[in-house]
Structure 1
Amino acid sequence: MPDRAKSFFWYELMTSDLEAAEAFYTSVVGWTAEPFDAPGVPPYVVVKAGDRGVGGLMAFPDEVRESGMPPAWIGYIGADDVDAATASVKASGGSVHREPADIPGVGRFSVVADPQGAVFMLLHANGPAQPPVPMDAPGHIGWRELYADDWESALEFYSGLFGWTRDDTVDIGEMGTYQLFAVDGEQNGGMMNRPPQVPAAFWQFYLNVPAIDAATRRVTDNGGTVTFGPDQVPGGQWVVTCTDPQGAHFGLVAPVR
C-alpha cells in the first residue's frame, strides 16, 4: 500500500469525432474548451469548469482506432513513480497496454488495466500538484463507478496499489451489492458486479450538474442517449447514465431533480 492514497484526478475522452464531442460536452455540462498545443502531441482539447481543468478530449490515435476500441472516457490515477506503479499493476495481476512514456510538457504516463480488464491510466504530472476539488464542485467529476466481474477482488487490487478503503455497503436488490470506497477518508466512488448487459469491466464517471432533469434534456437535445434514470440514490442525489453521440458512456449527478 502506498504511503499516501492516490485517486483519479484527470479524465480523458478518446473519441471518433473531436469537434462533435467538444460541442456536445460544452453544451451539456457547461465546460469551456481550450486547445492544448505541445510539440509531438496530437490535437487535444482541455475542458474546464471555471478556471480549473477537468480533463481532455482527443481523437483516436491511429493504433487505437485500428484496434476497434469504441469511444470511451478513461481516468488517470496519480503516481509518484509511473514506472514503479506500472510494474506494481502487472505484479498484482493487471495488464499494461502502453509502457511508461513521457508526454512533452505534461509528465510521464502509462496505460494499464486491472486484473478484470478495466482500463485506466497512470500519470506523474510535471509541476506542483493542484489542491483537491470538492466532490460536489460544479462541472467536475462527482462520482467514480467500477463495473467489475468481481468487485471484492477489484477492491482488494485498488486498495493494495492506491490505498483505497472499504466504506459503506448498499444492498441493491437483484443487482447484488454496491460497495462504496473511500480515499483518505472521503467517499470517492463505488463498485458493483456488472450486469449481463454490460459486456466488459469498465470505469464510468459522473459529472456534476446543477439539476438532473434539465441536464438530461441537454443530453437528448444534443444527440446523446439516456440509458438509465433519472433515479435518486442513497444520500438524496439524482443520477442518470448516458452515451454521447459517438457512443462513449458517462453519467450525470445532481443534488436536485
Structure 2
Amino acid sequence: MHGNFVWYELMTTDTKAAEAFYTNVVGWSARDASMPGIEYTLFYAGDRQVAGLMTMPDGALDMKVPPAWLGYVAVDDVDAAAAKIAAEGGNVHRAPDDIPGVGRFAIVTDPHGAAFALFKGTGEAPPLDQMAPGNTGWHELMAGDLDTAFEFYSKLFGWTKDQAMDMGEMGVYQIFASGGKQIGGMMTKPKDIPAPYWLYYFNVEALDAAIERTKSGGGQIVLEPMEVPGGAWIVQCTDPQGALFALVAPKR
C-alpha cells in the first residue's frame, strides 16, 4: 500500500452541518466512530468506510487555518517517512503518534507548504476500487513548483510520471502513478492562488445533479464543470464552511 492514498479527513467548524451536506451531495452515510475522548464521524460509501469528519482543533482556529480536507498516504514506516520529509525540506506538524487499534500517523507539509498525512494501519487494508461511487477518484496537487514537488513526492512515495499535458499558459499538468496505476495529477499553482494545496475528487454518478445538490445545500461552485481526457466530468466546489472539494462523474 506504500504510496497510495488510503483515508480522507475533513476538519471543519460545524460537523453536523458538514455531515448533512456531504451525505446529501456525495451520497455517503454517516456514523459516530465511538472513539474515547474525541467526537469523530465516519463517512461510508455502502459498507466501506471512506472518510472521517471532526471539529477543527483550537490551535488551528487560533492560527486562522480554514476548514479543509486532509489526505492520508500509506507508508511502510511513519517515523522513517516523517524523518525523510524533514530532511527533504518539508515540515512535520504533528509528530508520529498512535491511534489505538487503528494505526500510526503524522501530519506533515511538503517543502512548499501543501498539507497531507502519513499513515500505517494495524491491519491489511482491503482492496479499493478507485472509481466506485463515493470513493475518491483523483488526487490533485496545486504545487509550489511542479518539478521540485514531483521530485519530493517521488522520493517519498515512489510515484512515477505518467502522461503530461501541456495546459498552455497554465503550464504542464503531470499525471502520476503509484504501482503503475494513475492516481492523480499535479501542476505549478497559478500565481493568484496564495498557497499550494491538495484537492480531492469524490466520485458521483452524474455531475449536474450533484452540482444542484451542492448549491441547494449551501455550497458554491468555484470552477465550472469541464470534461477531462477520458470522458469524465469534473467540478470544483466549496462546502458551506469553506472547505474546498471536487466531484468527478462519468457523465453530466
Number of the residue aligned with 2:103: 107
Q: 2:208 — aligned with what?
A: 213
Residue 231, structure 1, aligned to residue 230, structure 2: no
Name the counterpart of 1:140: 135
Q: CA deviation at 1:118?
A: 0.4
Q: Output the CA distance in 1 between the equivalents of 2:229 and 2:9.
A: 28
Residue 249 of structure 1, aligned match among 230, 237, 244: 244
Deviations 1:71-98 (A, max 9, x none): 0000001122111111011111111101
Match of 1:35 in 2: 32
Amino acid at match of 2:172: T
Matched, 1:9 2:38: no
For residues 118-197 of structure 1, the aligned pairs below 5 Å read 118-131=114-127, 133-197=128-192
What runs of 5+ residues in structure 2 fail to find an aligned partner?
A: none
1:63 partner SS: helix
Look up the match of 1:21: 18
Partner Cα distance (2:124, 2:50) in 1: 16
Q: Specify the alignment match of 2:79 in structure 1.
A: 83
Tell me which of 57, 61, 65 is aligned to 2:57: 61
Task: Answer whether contact 1:112 1:120 (CA < 8 A) is retained.
Answer: yes
Contact 1:5 1:164 in 2 (8 A): no
Gaps of 5+ in 1: none
Within the alignment, does 1:116 sit opposite 2:116 as a pair?
A: no
CA–CA distance in structure 2, aligned partners of residues 129 and 95 of structure 1: 27
- TM-score, length-normalised on structure 1? 0.95
**What is the alpha-carbon distance in structure 2 between the residues aligned to residue 34 and residue 126 of structure 1?**
22
1:181-205 Cα offsets, whole Å, 9 max, x none, are 0111111100011112211000000
Cα RMSD (Å): 1.1
CA distance in 2, matches of 1:187, 1:128: 22
Percent identity, aligned pairs only, is: 56
Report the alpha carbon displacement of residue 5 of structure 1 after superposing the two structures with TM.
4.3
Aligned equivalents of 1:13 and 1:159: distance in 2? 25
CA distance in 1, matches of 2:125, 2:2: 14
| SS of the residue 2:174 aligns to | strand
For this pair of structures, how many residues does the alignment match? 252
Q: Per-residue deviation at 1:116? A: 0.8
**TM-score, L = length of structure 2:** 0.97
Q: Which of structure 1's runs of 4+ aligned residues deviate more than 2 A?
A: none
Is the contact between residue 2 and residue 75 of structure 2 (CA under 8 Å) also seen in structure 1? no
